[in-house]
């Protein structure tokens, strides 16, 4: 049930059942904005303190709205607005290199201190892989890297490209566990600096390098290509160029893996609040938008796995960590920034639980026989990779390289 206290002090109740969420709307202009454009105005109202939650919490409010929205007929004005957004999305998501750099800097170059508040020690800023409900965030992120490494089947000496390499956690993991040279590319100045420093700290700078480069300007051929949490920033109008470039960079016997947030529903317009405040130029694709461009690029889809609810649990862990250190975030930025970040984490978690958001892991190749014909090899490969965050240490480099050679020989 939702209780709403209006600006004149009147309280109205909507629905029945539990839990009860009570909110207060503090001025009529905020109410009008929410009524006309809730996708944008609700987040802005929270940021500006024009809306407050009096009973329950922000996540409970968003979850209640999304869960009930599935059974509600959308008003014609909202439908018209969404059609307009769909029509204009190729314009709003036009991401040439210069704009891509600005979009990346908007979110990822906010300073190391912010991300240290809520990410794991490897700064994995993408969906973790929870093998059990008891997994810690640290271990679930290692499980994710382990899962990806098993699908890639990187052999010692093979050249690996990490497109959108983040803070370098996955790239250094692949180098540690396979004894393979890794090149990472990112458009974030802060991430590139941190990743190269991390490689030096880990004693891997002889085989791992992170470059400040757009993927469209990458050259060479690679045995393995991985891209985690980057495809969401490509833009619908650039999907063909993305997969064509991936096909050009991938060796004829190579294997690639694209890990991206996706929608389990037909294509829809970008979320206006997320686009304006969090990820400008970002978009969550449907599978029907991805597959045709893969086919046009001449690539073979070797495997598609849909991770359901793993990102919801990841975001819950991030939100809990952020809220536990909220005062530190306010000292770094300000109260409005903290309220924006609260809304971002809470709305995204609710989206993965109630708004059909999932994660796609799409394995690609040029050849049908690039990987074994059954999926058994994935679990078999995992047996030779570290299971927990504490298992990743300097000795892994030689030990896992020997094991990988043995598996390849078999």
For 281-295, how does the pLDDT look when each residue is reduced to its tens digit (9 = 90+)? 889 999 999 999 999
**pLDDT tier for residue 393 given thresholds of 50, 70 and 90:** low
Q: How far is CA 289 from CA 94, 255, 265, 373, in A?
A: 16, 21, 11, 26
How many Å apart are CA 139 and CA 212, to the nearest integer?
29
Q: Looking at the predicted structure, is the pLDDT value of residue 255 above 80?
A: yes
Is residue 69 domain-shared with residue 211, that is, in the same domain? Answer: no
Q: Looking at the predicted structure, is the pLDDT value of residue 104 above 50?
A: yes
Neighbours of 331 (CB within 10 A): 11
Whole-number pLDDT of residue 110: 84
For residue 29 the two structure tokens come to: 């202009």
How many Å apart are CA 146 and CA 328, to the nearest integer?
32
Q: Looking at the predicted structure, is the pLDDT value of residue 398 above 50?
A: no
Mean pLDDT of 258-274: 93
Is residue 147 domain-shared with residue 261, that is, in the same domain? Answer: yes
Mean pLDDT of 40-56: 96
How many Å apart are CA 268 and CA 286, to the nearest integer?
8
Q: How far is CA 212 from CA 10, 184, 216, 408, in A?
A: 56, 9, 12, 33
pLDDT in tens, 168-187: 999 999 999 998 999 999 99
Q: DSSP string of 206-265?
A: TTEEEEE--GGG--S-EEEEEEES-GGGT-GGGHHHHHHHHHHHEEEEEEEEEEEEEESS
Mean pLDDT of 12-27: 91
Is residue 171 domain-shared with residue 105, that is, in the same domain? Answer: yes
More confident residue, 203 or 390: 203
Name the one residue in this structure whose structure tokens are 């045709």: 292
Residue 299 is classified by DSSP as -
How many Å apart are CA 237 and CA 90, to the nearest integer?
6
Neighbours of 67 (CB within 10 A): 13
Secondary structure (3-state) at 142:
helix
**The domain that contains 109 carries what CATH number?**
3.40.50.150
Q: Looking at the predicted structure, is the pLDDT value of residue 194 above 70?
A: yes
Is residue 115 domain-shared with residue 16, that is, in the same domain? Answer: no
Give 143: exposed, middle or buried? Use CB within 10 Å, 0-12, 13-18, 19+: buried
pLDDT in tens, 369-384: 999 999 999 999 998 8
Is residue 226 domain-shared with residue 297, that is, in the same domain? Answer: yes
Question: Domain limits at 259?
Answer: 97-409
Q: Looking at the predicted structure, is the pLDDT value of residue 269 above 90?
A: no
pLDDT more than 90, % of the chain: 76
**pLDDT tier for residue 94 given thresholds of 50, 70 and 90:** low
**pLDDT tier for residue 83 given thresholds of 50, 70 and 90:** confident
Whole-number pLDDT of residue 247: 98
Is residue 33 domain-shared with residue 157, that is, in the same domain? Answer: no
Is residue 46 domain-shared with residue 191, that is, in the same domain? Answer: no
Q: Looking at the predicted structure, is the pLDDT value of residue 390 above 80?
A: no
As a whole number of Å, the end-to-end CA separation of the chain is 60
Is residue 186 domain-shared with residue 81, that is, in the same domain? Answer: no
Is residue 128 domain-shared with residue 58, that is, in the same domain? Answer: no
Mean pLDDT of 107-130: 91
Mean pLDDT of 31-58: 95
Q: Looking at the predicted structure, is the pLDDT value of residue 206 above 90?
A: yes
**pLDDT tier for residue 306 given thresholds of 50, 70 and 90:** very high
Whole-number pLDDT of residue 95: 72
Residue 271 is classified by DSSP as P
Query: Of 74-83, 310-319, 338-347, 389-398, where does mean pLDDT reach its minimum?
Result: 389-398
More confident residue, 244 or 397: 244
pLDDT more than 70, % of the chain: 90
**pLDDT tier for residue 16 given thresholds of 50, 70 and 90:** confident
Among candidate residues 5, 65, 338, 348, the one labeled active-site is 348
Secondary structure (3-state) at 25:
strand
Q: Looking at the predicted structure, is the pLDDT value of residue 244 above 60?
A: yes
Cis peptide bond upstream of 19, omega within 30? yes
Catalytic residue status for 127: no
Helix or strand (DSSP H, E) at 305? strand 300-307
Domain count for the chain, please give it. Answer: 2
Whole-number pLDDT of residue 107: 81
Helix or strand (DSSP H, E) at 97? helix 97-108
Is residue 210 domain-shared with residue 112, that is, in the same domain? Answer: yes
- In 97-206 the beta strands, taken as DSSP E runs, fall at 160-163, 182-186
> Which of 43, 74, 90 is the last residue before a domain boundary?
90
Is residue 245 domain-shared with residue 341, that is, in the same domain? Answer: yes
Does the predicted TM-score (pTM) go above 0.75? yes
> Which of 90, 109, 129 is the last residue before a domain boundary?
90
> Which of 90, 111, 133 is the last residue before a domain boundary?
90
Whole-number pLDDT of residue 50: 96
**pLDDT tier for residue 78 given thresholds of 50, 70 and 90:** low
Secondary structure (3-state) at 169:
helix
Is residue 53 domain-shared with residue 166, that is, in the same domain? Answer: no
For residue 302 the two structure tokens come to: 């070797």
Mean pLDDT of 130-149: 96
**pLDDT tier for residue 80 given thresholds of 50, 70 and 90:** confident
Mean pLDDT of the chain: 90
176, 284, 152, 281: which is closest to 229 by C-alpha?
Answer: 284
């Amino acid at each position: 049930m939702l209780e709403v206290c209006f600006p004149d002090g009147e309280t109205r109740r909507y629905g029945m059942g539990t839990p009860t969420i009570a909110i207060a709307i503090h001025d009529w202009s905020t109410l009008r904005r929410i009524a006309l454009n809730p996708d944008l105005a609700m987040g802005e109202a929270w940021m500006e303190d024009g809306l407050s939650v009096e009973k329950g919490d922000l996540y409970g409010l968003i979850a209640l709205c999304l869960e009930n929205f599935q059974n509600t007929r959308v008003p014609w004005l909202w439908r018209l607005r969404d059609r307009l957004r769909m029509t204009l999305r190729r314009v709003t998501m036009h991401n040439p290199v210069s704009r891509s750099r600005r979009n990346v800097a908007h979110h990822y170059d906010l300073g190391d201190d912010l991300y240290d508040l809520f990410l794991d020690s490897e700064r994995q800023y993408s969906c973790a892989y929870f093998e059990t409900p008891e997994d810690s965030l640290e271990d679930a992120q290692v499980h994710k890297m382990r899962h990806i490494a098993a699908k890639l089947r990187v052999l010692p000496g093979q050249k690996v490209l990490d497109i959108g390499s983040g803070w370098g956690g996955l790239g250094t993991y692949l180098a540690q566990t396979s004894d393979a040279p890794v090149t990472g590319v990112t458009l974030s100045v802060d991430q590139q600096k941190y990743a190269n420093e991390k490689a030096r700290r880990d004693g891997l700078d002889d085989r791992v390098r992170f470059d400040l480069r757009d993927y469209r300007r990458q050259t060479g051929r690679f045995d393995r290509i991985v891209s985690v949490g980057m495809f969401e920033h490509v833009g619908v109008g650039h999907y063909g160029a993305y997969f064509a470039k991936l096909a050009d960079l991938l060796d004829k016997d190579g294997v690639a893996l694209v890990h991206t947030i996706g929608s389990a529903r037909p294509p829809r317009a970008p979320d206006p609040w997320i686009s304006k405040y969090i990820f400008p130029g970002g978009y969550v694709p449907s599978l029907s938008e991805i597959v045709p461009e893969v086919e046009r690029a001449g690539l073979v889809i070797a495997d598609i796995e849909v991770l359901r609810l793993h990102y919801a649990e990841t975001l819950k862990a991030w939100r809990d960590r952020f809220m536990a250190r909220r005062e530190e975030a306010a000292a770094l930025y300000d109260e409005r920034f903290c309220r924006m970040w609260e809304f971002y984490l809470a709305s995204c978690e609710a989206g993965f639980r109630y708004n059909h958001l999932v994660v796609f892991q799409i394995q690609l190749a040029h050849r049908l026989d690039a990987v074994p014909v059954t999926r058994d090899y994935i679990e078999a490969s995992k047996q030779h990779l570290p299971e927990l965050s504490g298992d990743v240490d300097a000795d892994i480099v030689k030990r896992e390289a020997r094991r990988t050679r043995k598996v390849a020989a078999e």
